[in-house]
Structure 1
Amino acid sequence: MRAVWKGAVTFGLVNVPVKLYSATEDHDVSLHQVHDEDGGRIRYQRKCEVCGKVVDYKNIDKAYDDGEQTVVITDDDLKALPAERSREIEVVEFVPNDQIDPIMFDRSYYLEPDSASSKAYVLLRETLESTDRTAIVQMALRQKTRLAALRVHGDVLMVQTLLWSDEVRAADFASLSEPVKISAKELDLSKQLVESLVSDFDPEQYVDEYQQELRTLIAAKLEQGEGIDTAATFGEEPEEEAGGEVIDLMEALRQSIAAKRESGAGSGAAKSRSGGTKAKKAPTASAEKETKKTASTRKRAASE
């Protein structure tokens, strides 16, 4: 991993030098745009509306338009701002761990000690652990002042940037203001359904099926060419019956509970209790390379 920021966590007279690393990454397959007629790559150009020239990124500044005037803001202007020059993660308060609404979380970063001794880092980590507290901090990152939560994640300290309060929308739905009567029987059946699905969350048992299927599609096209048989590659999709039967809420709950009990009595229940069925693995990089090699060999053979 490459550090995206260097500075120090400060609270009181304590100073903890740290490096900041992105804690997450995107696993999506990278696709680019091409012309549907000839497959040519689509490129975008930054063109000036005044002179018509294509402008290099290094020659592009930012600007604010209030409707009447335009103010140009250069990179030097932004770097001169006091907040941008700060290299501190300033602790402003310590709050109970459960007081931060998850809706406010934005991006996650790991903190690594950046000094010869990690004592101050470990001290802060163990202090947060023993007090069940999260530090609310302020910092400047990528030309923005950030509000963030500094907390313990395993053996490391983590900073999770937070949305500002005015960035979180209120859920104001008129339909929820209307009174709804829930019977005790409906609530009881709903609780039974919940209990039948209770488990411990294991993120590794869930997979991004769309990305897996996309990789399978790419591998199939590399091997078979453009005219692939979708049904042979992915299997037949069962047709949905039109005009399904409309049932009431109570009946839906009863059927859901019955279906869960029935599945629990079979062999599927044992698999579910042991962690669920294993997800199909997406084609590995080596498999895709082998597929490309096969496709390339076939193309050469065809041309000969």
Structure 2
Amino acid sequence: MDNFKAFGNSLSSIGQQITPFASRTFQYTKEQLGQAEDKTELPPDYIDLEKRVDALKQVHQKMLTVTSQYSHEAYDYPANIKESFSDLGRTVSEKVQLLSSATTPAEAQAALVAPPSAKPQPKTFSHAIARASLASSQLLHQQHTGAGEDPLATALEKYALVSERLGEARLAQDAQIQSRYLAGWNTTLNTNLMFATRARKNVEKARLTLDSVKSRAKGNTWKIGPNSPRDDHHTTEELSPEAQEEIEKAEDEFVTQTEEAVGVMKNVLDTPEPLRNLAELVAAQLEYHKKSAEILSELAPIIEGLQVEQEANYRKSREDAS
């Protein structure tokens, strides 16, 4: 213990002749070693603000860890799918148009593998379903030998077109979320909360400076009576005017930085921007799901009609056979 006290005293004496940064470093080291006699306490309201800001920061980090996936087009694209360059060359709508004008199996095949007209098609789950459905539809069409069209092939082609529309709706949702939610939350995390962190660091620097000044002043002017034991009852502090002025200056700076940090933290906590951004996230999701429901509602009766017609034809063929 005597060694620690000696070390602490040596830090105090060295601290008199060093820069403010080094002085704060010495003060911090003394506190970590338990050698600081006094440590200025932060106001309870300030500490409460710090806790709330820390919680808000964690919320942003946790939510962005998940929702940042909206920035990656292929977040729902199945990993086991192996699609070729030709598969991704044209949209399903373009391929259907080309297929409608094909008169031979060779022309139909050429339509399916037509060279790209623009950038590769999106890698989303719905787009992948669309491409798989169209390819499946053509397989059935090519092998169909009966009268009329194969009902399943027809249904799959219609499902392919609808799935592509669903994929486009999902991409529209993602674009809205990126611009109206992710951008805002990233700004709060990387700008507003960073300002709060910087302000809090300034408070800690001011506190360490204040405590180092106090420690140095006490260490320089502490006087103990010749016949008195060294305790709180017989210890007096006689500060020189210069030391008192230095302490007051450090106290003023501490108060100024604390008040500024309080203002910054309150502004971060009170701003409605995060909640507004979250509302935009929900609105984008709602719009997407409503659009999806509308698209599927258009398709469902068509598929059901094809199913009913096929079942009726099936029953009739069985009756005729019997």
Shorter-chain TM-score above 0.5? no
| Structure 1 length-normalised TM | 0.16
Q: Which has the higher helix share?
A: 2
Higher relative contact order (CA 8 A, sep 6+): 2
| Structure 2 length-normalised TM | 0.16
Q: Which has the larger radius of gyration?
A: 2
Q: Which has the higher strand share?
A: 1
